[in-house]
Amino acid sequence: MNLLELNGVTKRFGGITACKEISFGIAPGQIMGLIGPNGAGKTTAFNLITGVYDLTGGTILLEGKPIQGARPDEIVQWGVARTFQNIRLFRNLSVLDNVCIAADLHETYSLSAALLRLPQVSRRERAIREQAMEYLAAVGLEERAALRADSLPYGLQRKLEIARALALKPRLLLLDEPAAGMNPEESLDLARLIRRIHEEYQLTTLLIEHHMDVVMALCEKIFVMNFGVRLAEGTAEEIQTNPDVLKAYLGEGYKRAGN
C-alpha cells in the first residue's frame, strides 16, 4: 500500500483551478520529486495534503486512511511533516526552542502535571531537550542551539527547518523547495543531507524543487505538474527525455544524465 495517495485531487479558488485531477502515489520509503514551473500548483498540493486548504474534489489517503478535511495539526499528529517555501521558523526563539516545540509532539505530559511541576515533568523536559539536541546534531547545528533562529545564515535556517520537521517523527516528509536560494555547492550539500536522513530515519519524502541537480540526484520517481494538471510521471531518466517536460519546463537544451 502506498504511504501517500492522491486521487483526483482538485482545488478551485473562485474562478481559478489551482489543481485539477491530480493523482499519484508514493510507496513507503520512496523519495519522490514534484516539479514544474512556478504557479503549476505544487505548493497548493502541499497545502492540500497538510490540510491548510480544503479540497474541492478528490481524496488524499495516508496509508489508506483519508485525511482530506482534517485539521492541519491532526494531520501532523498522524505523521506528516513539512517545511515551507519561505522559511517559517519561530524567528525570535532560540534554535533549540524551535526544535523543542516540534519534539513536544511526542513527549507528552498533562496540563495539570505541567502546572504543578510534578517530577515527571522535569524528566520529560530533559528528554525533550536531549531529543532536540540529537536532531540538531543530525543536521550539524548543535553548536548553535542557544542562538536566535533568525541570527542563523540562510542555509542553516533551512537546515533548522529540516531538523524541526524531523523532530516531529514523521512518516512522510514534505520539503518545499529546501534548496531555494542556495548556490550549487550548498544544494549538493543539502541533497547529501536529505539522502542521509532519508536512510537514517527511513523517511518517505516528497520534494518540491527547482534545482534539477538535487531532484535528479535524489528522486526515484518524479511527478511533473503544469498549470495545475499532471504533465508527466516517471523515473528521472524518463522525465529528462520526455519531450513535453522539456518543452514546458526543463528546456530543450537540458543536459540529460549520462551525456
- Which residues of this chain interact with another protein, rule CB under 8 A? 50, 52, 71-73, 76-77, 81-82, 84, 88-95, 97, 100-102, 104-105, 107-109, 111, 114-117, 121, 124-125, 128, 146-149, 151, 164, 168
Residue with cell 512518516: 171
* DSSP reduced 3-state for 111: helix
Instruction: Please say which residue, 16 or 146, places its beta carbon nearer to another protein.
Output: 146
Shortest distance, CB of residue 30 to another protein, whole angstroms? 22
Shortest distance, CB of residue 165 to another protein, whole angstroms? 9
Instruction: Please say which residue, 83 or 242, places its beta carbon nearer to another protein.
Output: 83
| 61-68, Cβ contacts within 8 angstroms, sequence gap of 24 or more | 61/2, 61/4, 61/5, 61/6, 61/7, 62/3, 62/4, 62/171, 62/172, 63/1, 63/3, 63/171, 64/1, 64/5
Q: Nearest-CA neighbor of 146 among 95, 209, 189, 70?
A: 95
Instruction: Please say which residue, 63 or 233, places its beta carbon nearer to another protein.
Output: 63
Shortest distance, CB of residue 67 to another protein, whole angstroms? 14
Say if residues 98 and 90 touch (Cβ distance below 8 Å). yes
Instruction: Please say which residue, 80 or 216, places its beta carbon nearer to another protein.
Output: 80
Question: The C-alpha cell of 14 is what?
Answer: 473562485
Shortest distance, CB of residue 5 to another protein, whole angstroms? 21
Shortest distance, CB of residue 105 to another protein, whole angstroms? 4
Instruction: Please say which residue, 149 or 224, places its beta carbon nearer to another protein.
Output: 149
